[in-house]
Amino acid sequence: DKGGWSSFMAKEVAEQPDAVANTLRGRIVDDAVVVPELAAFGDEALAGIRRIVIIACGTAAYAGMTAQYAIEKWARVPVTVELSHEFRYRDPVITDDTLVISISQSGETMDTLMAVKYAREAGARVISICNTQGATIPRESDAVVYTHAGPEVAVASTKAFVAQITALYLFGLHLARVRGSLSVEEQAEQVRELVAIPAKIATVLESSATVAQLAHWMADTRAVLFLGRHVGFPIAMEGALKLKELAYIHAEGFAAGELKHGPIALIEPGQPVFVVVPSPRGSATLHPKVVSNIQEIRARGARVIAIAEEGDAAVLPFADEVVRIPLAAPLFEPLLAVVPLQIFAMELSIAKGLDVDQPRNLAKSVTVE
């Protein structure tokens, strides 16, 4: 039931504040993160982990790439992120102090299921992040942390993505607590940021009309580029994936620092480029670098759409459009910056007269390898 919305995707995009809030529920105790499912897995076992490998596909893999920054920063454990189908077939080194985390909305993705089975046979313990109660991947795992995004019907993943990042952040903070790598005050600070996210996503949703308008102007665009840096990098790739699958437009997400190593050659007059701009307060070193990337592409004629923090005036002289997101600590910006990109892809799909909920050639869960 679309509940009055024009599509399941529109409904699910709007449900993102709840998806995050429901995923947090029952997992925060006195400003500290205590995930009951992880406590059951064993805090001692978690404290002994030397390496984390995250496996997932598509949007779920971008959630993993986003969380990699936070988990390493908070828990000081090396984290790598791999596509399930690559991991499984390259004879990876798995030791018994390796923790594998799988991420899957459906819990039925065959590539990820096979990778989970493979990892366990090789001696790793597997914790799964999943949105579907009783699905196959959770049954094959040592522990499950459910995302409580509610059923996701539209083929393009939206609310599951923000819920996955939320669950992974909870994991990271739980791990940091058992490892003692963050002070009580540092933990409380991150928890405060996390619980403020639902209201901030709601604010981003209120300004969605601007992005919608932009999409309708760009209905005959042939290619769109997305740039981001640090946690903005996986968000750039997620923005590009949404656009490919929903609007059938060639789209690429790049790390902004890669620009001069190749992709800048793609910039020609009129080329639309979305740039996820890091906070000038939170990322004092990266913000000017990304602003200078914007200047470089603007000088070559790019049409720049900046996703920037409220009050960031540095982008104004160079951006053609600025989409504002509320202030948040750097690691939490992805949960806000992704929303305008989802809406842009959805609206461009609508502008082209396509089926937003059921893009061609795609299935909601990919149960074949």
Residues that bind ligand F6R (CB under 6 A): 57-60, 104-106, 109, 112, 156-157, 241, 245, 365-366
The strand order across the sheet containing 321-325 reads 250-255, 223-228, 272-276, 303-309, 321-325
Q: Smallest gap, in angstroms, from Cβ of residue 117 to ligand F6R?
A: 15
CB 345 within 8 A of CB 247: yes
Q: Rounded to the nearest whole angstrom, what is the least distance from the CB of residue 272 to ligand F6R in the complex?
A: 21
User: Which residue lies nearer to ligand F6R by CB, 65 or 259?
Assistant: 65
Nearer to ligand F6R, 245 or 309 (CB): 245
* Residue with Cβ nearer ligand F6R (152 or 312): 152
Q: Which is nearer to ligand F6R, 57 or 338 (CB)?
A: 57
Nearer to ligand F6R (CB atom), residue 63 or residue 273: 63
- CB 113, min distance to ligand F6R, A: 9
What minimum distance in Å lies between the beta carbon of 135 and ligand F6R?
9
Q: Give helix 16-24 / helix 159-179 axis angle, nearest 10°.
A: 30
Q: Determine contact, residues 278/333, Cβ cutoff 8 Å.
A: yes
Give me the half-sphere count of Cα atoms (radius 13 Å) on the Cβ side of residue 264.
15
Token pair recorded at residue 203: 């604010």
Amino acid, res. 62: Y
> CB 329 → ligand F6R: shortest distance, Å?
26
Nearer to ligand F6R, 310 or 369 (CB): 369
Count of other CB atoms within 10 angstroms of residue 22: 19
Is residue 364 part of the annotated active site? The answer reads yes
Which of residues 60 and 319 has its CB atom nearest to ligand F6R in the complex? Answer: 60
Residue number closest to ligand F6R, CB atom: 58
Distance between CA atoms of residues 41 and 247, nearest Å: 42
Closest C-alpha among 219, 186, 55, 63 to residue 127: 55
Give 102 or 190: the residue with its C-beta nearer to ligand F6R.
Answer: 102
CB of 116 to ligand F6R, least distance (A): 11
Q: Shortest gap between Cβ of 258 and ligand F6R (angstroms)? A: 22
Catalytic residue among 73, 244, 352, 364: 364
Token digits of residue 260: 């001069």
Query: How near is the Cβ of 257 to ligand F6R at its closest, in Å?
Result: 25
Residues 6+ apart with CB under 8 A from 175: 38, 46, 49, 71, 74, 75, 77
Which residue, among 25, 49, 234, 42, has the nearest Cα to 146 in the 3D structure? 25
Q: If we measure between CA atoms, which residue out of 233, 244, 234, 256 comes closest to residue 161? A: 234
Contact (CB, 8 A) for 178 and 46: yes
Handedness of CA 338, 342, 347, 348 (dihedral sign): positive
Catalytic residues: 364
